[in-house]
Amino acid sequence: MSLPRRAHALAAALVLCAMVLAPAHAQDKLKDKKNRIELGIKHAQAHLDESSKAAALAYKQLSAATASLAAAKSDLAASTTAVAKAKVIDARLKIELIHAQADFDRAHADLVVARAKVKEQDRAVGELVATQAQSASPQLLRLVALFSTTSVADTATSMQVSGNFADRQLGVLDGLTAAKTAVKIIEVKQRTARNAIAAKKREAARNLARQRAAERAAQAAKAKVIALVRTREAARAASLRAKRADMVKLAALKRENARIAALLQHRADQHPGKGYTGSQNGFLLRPVDGAVTSPYGWRKHPIYGYWGLHDGVDLQAPCGTPLRASADGTVISRYYQSAWGNRLILDVGNVNGKGVAVIYNHLSRYNVSSGAHVQRGDVIGYAGTTGWSTGCHLHFTVMADGHAVDPMPWF
């Protein structure tokens, strides 16, 4: 529960305690002061509650925007990295494509030369055939027969076996065979280079698609970051406005609380020695058997960051759990307060010279009325989750001379 709401509830409780515990001649004066304080609180309460709700909402929005902004920044970084990676790959592919194109161009040039050489060798063979044809020699007939075979190499082999050609003639045929073989080898190189170019182009196209997608994602992430920065700043401004409003109201409530506490202390000083005297430990009965889920003490406010007093103990109590009177006493008030929900204040009298009252908060319903006298252990109400509560439990407060004290040493 926030400190501003506890301060308001505490001020109201102190006034009510003072009305019952003060002597008769002081009650009228205290009642007038109570009316003036409650009138001021009544006018301020709506604004205080609204500011507190606004603060909680702004804090929630600020936290959500901050978390979303962190995620958006991460997405932007990832997209930017993907774009940079795609550009590096693109640069590499461009270089590899240049090399592949150069290999193709060299193979093409080599192929032109090789094919020209084949033509040249073909002409040499033709000249050889024409020379032999002029004499109509038997060698010409054999040459014609040899060229009717399917393999130039077989032709050359047959020519060598026959021994009918001179060394010069065999050299011409060997040159033709070598030239045709070179053409085939270069054609393979050209096809390999052409395939490499096609593969690089396909890879470059895929990489370009990835780069374009990453660029679109980066643009979207950047726009989201800008929007979330604006949202976060708006939530931060709303939170600061709510905090300032809460702080103003809190300061006023603290001043009133201090004045009421001083008045109660003055009353206690005027009536020493009455009531219970003895060990404090065990004077109060534990109102419910549940474990302590949040102890008494100072803690950091989750929204504003300042340290505030958690003025009681939170005890585990499922909804509907009976709540026991901690001691004999009088119910001096029961009412609903937006922060504390259904509250019940029980005056248990003077203990070792101090006026002691206990407060039950977040009740689902009451079992006794204001002004009722109860005995230790009587069921006075039932646990709930009314007011500013996230689950069924009992917030139990012990007031000694108008000041909240740790309830645990009293059990």
pLDDT in tens, 7-35: 444 444 444 444 433 444 444 554 555 45
Q: What is the mean pLDDT of residues 161-183?
A: 65
Burial of 336 by CB count in 10 Å (0-12 exposed, 13-18 middle, 19+ buried)? exposed
Confidence of residue 79 (pLDDT cuts 50, 70, 90): confident
Q: Which amino acid would we find at residue 61?
A: Q
pLDDT at 408: 97
Short-list 351, 337, 346, CA closest to 397? 346
Lowest mean pLDDT among 145-159, 259-273, 357-371: 145-159
Percent of the chain with pLDDT over 90: 21
Most confident of 49-63, 111-125, 187-201: 187-201
**For range 24-53, the mean pLDDT:** 45
Stated pTM of the model? 0.49
Give the angle 401-406-411 at the CA atoms, nearest 5°.
Answer: 100
Reply yes or no on whether the pLDDT at 6 is more than 70. no
State mean pLDDT over 28-47: 45
Among 316, 311, 298, 294, which Cα is nearest to 397's?
A: 311
Place 269 in a pLDDT band, splitting at 50, 70 and 90.
low
Q: How far apart, in Å, are the Cα atoms of 177 and each of 36, 59, 118, 140, 225?
A: 122, 89, 8, 20, 71
Burial degree of 64 (CB within 10 A; 0-12, 13-18, 19+): middle
User: Are 130 and 185 contacting, i.e. CB atoms less than 8 angstroms apart?
Assistant: no
What are the DSSP calls for 177-202, one per residue? Answer: HHHHHHHHHHHHHHHHHHHHHHHHHH
Mean pLDDT (whole number) for 77-89: 87
Share the mean pLDDT of the chain: 75
